[in-house]
Amino acid sequence: MKAAPRHCLCLSAPAHHSDLGRSLYSSHSSTRTAHETKVPAPPPSTALFREALDIHTLSMYRLALPSVALWARRPAASAVFAASSGASLRWCSSSPPSVSSSATPGKVKVHIKSETEGTEKTVEAAVGLTLMEVIRDVAKMDMEAACDGTCACSTCHVIFTEESYQKLLDAPSEDEMDMLDLAPKVTSTSRLSCQVKITPELDGISVRIPNEMENQMGY
């Protein structure tokens, strides 16, 4: 008995379909290639410049590392000064503290000229005394000082030099001005010596005792 012949069904795309697929693939490949080539490659000069810039930046960074490390280890100058001298960092005065010309701590030099006696003296005066006490008790120069420093007369009148007058910290009071109005030979730098306290700022002052006095107390 003969076997029945087998019939094979072969499915094959029509010729026109195969051509269409190849056409679409070729079109897609050409589109992708065109898209990829839209961004032009940087010219050789640009690439070389970027490479040189990267090398320069790296070199500068390497050179800066030692100096940065050294700066980080270095203590602040103000801290070194404070540790070595015990000075306070809060002190921020723009001018140095005044230094007395006197060799004795707590004292200042005062130059006195007496027109009545015709003499001059330079003495060391303790801070806190009045100028009247310096003239009368320290310099031992003639000064009546009839009211003994109570601002009730003008017999302790003195005249400051212009430079010395600028060192005074306090202006004369109303009572002192009233007494100065009654004193002879008053000038713009006149003061009652009983009303002037010796302070470190008055170091090196120079005053003159006029040769005319008037005792308003009547004795």
Nearest Cα residue to 140 out of 116, 157, 121, 166: 121
- The pLDDT assigned to 96 comes to 41
Nearest Cα residue to 150 out of 170, 185, 176: 176
What Rg do the C-alpha atoms of the chain give, in angstroms?
A: 51
- Whether residue 54 is contained in a domain is answered as no
Cα–Cα distance measured from residue 212 to residue 149, given in angstroms and rounded to the nearest whole number: 18
Cα–Cα distance measured from residue 192 to residue 179, given in angstroms and rounded to the nearest whole number: 8
- The pLDDT assigned to 78 comes to 38
- The pLDDT assigned to 43 comes to 57
Nearest-10 Cα torsion for 36, 42, 47, 50: -100
- Whether residue 143 is contained in a domain is answered as yes
Provide the residue-wise pLDDT of the chain in tens; the chain has 219 residues.
455 555 444 444 444 445 544 554 455 455 454 444 555 555 555 556 566 556 656 555 455 544 444 344 444 433 433 344 443 323 333 334 444 566 588 999 999 999 999 999 999 999 999 999 999 999 999 999 999 999 999 999 999 999 999 999 999 999 999 999 999 999 999 999 999 999 999 999 999 999 998 887 765
Per-residue burial over 193-207, b = 16 or more CB atoms within 10 Å of its CB, e = otherwise: bbbbebeeebbbbbb
Nearest Cα residue to 192 out of 149, 161, 162, 163: 149
- Whether residue 75 is contained in a domain is answered as no
Pairing type for strands 205-209 and 190-192 reads unpaired
User: Exposure of 161 by Cβ count < 10 A (0-12 exposed, 13-18 middle, 19+ buried)?
Assistant: middle
- The pLDDT assigned to 39 comes to 53
> What is the span of the domain harbouring residue 164?
107-209
Read off the CATH number of the domain in which 205 is found.
3.10.20.30
- Whether residue 184 is contained in a domain is answered as yes
Pairing type for strands 205-209 and 107-114 reads parallel
Residue given tokens 């490479």 in the structure block: 51
Total domains in the fold of the chain: 1
| pTM of this structure | 0.54
- The pLDDT assigned to 58 comes to 55
Cα–Cα distance measured from residue 138 to residue 121, given in angstroms and rounded to the nearest whole number: 10
Pairing type for strands 119-126 and 107-114 reads antiparallel
Three-class DSSP category at 176: helix
- Whether residue 48 is contained in a domain is answered as no
Three-class DSSP category at 23: helix
Take residue 167 and report the two structure tokens written for it: 């060192």
Take residue 18 and report the two structure tokens written for it: 């195969």
- The pLDDT assigned to 90 comes to 32
